[in-house]
Amino acid sequence: MQRRSLLALAALLPFAAVAQPGVDRPQSRLPTEPLVFETRDGRWLTFTVEMAVQPEQQMIGLMFRPEVKPDEGMLFDWGGPRESSMWMRNTITSLDMVFIAADGRVHRIAERTVPYSLASISSNGPVRATLELAAGMAERLNIRVGDRVLHRIFGTAP
């Protein structure tokens, strides 16, 4: 009897992973904070970012949001340096993902991610945070690896 219950549970696991109970709509707007890029050529680019700090906020992120405004984004604060791996599941708009090291420097940029993709998008090294912006913003604003991010979590609040 116990073996049969385990087999039945195992058969349901793929459905549980797909359904993600409670994750079928966008989350409410999270608290926002200012974030500034200081580029190599000395420009300051200001964004208003939603702060995803709790695991449940990070799990939903920008899923189901129809758009991300050009001067907005979502900052995923991992609390300390770690490998960051993201995906685009249930994300209906393309994004730029900016992986930011603990010292506030841009470590890697994944541009124009593919909506709904289950492919893993990795930071390729430890980062303190991941910033999601509207697709194309990194190219349009010439944000590059090595640029500095000014924000309180990096000890560089603007």
**Tens-place pLDDT, residues 16-53:** 344 354 578 899 999 999 999 999 999 999 999 999 99
Structure tokens given for 1:
């009897």
Contact, 45 vs 70, CB < 8 A? no
Q: How many residues can be counted in the chain?
A: 158
Residue 11 CA, distance from chain mean position? 31
Residue 30's contacts (CB-CB under 8 Å, 6 or more residues apart) are 50, 51, 52, 57, 74
Q: What is the pLDDT of residues 133-157, one digit of tens each?
A: 999 999 999 999 999 999 999 999 8
Residue 9 predicted with pLDDT over 70: no
DSSP string, 74-93: EEEEEEEEEEEEE--TT--S
List the domains of the chain with CATH numbers. 31-154 (2.60.120.1140)
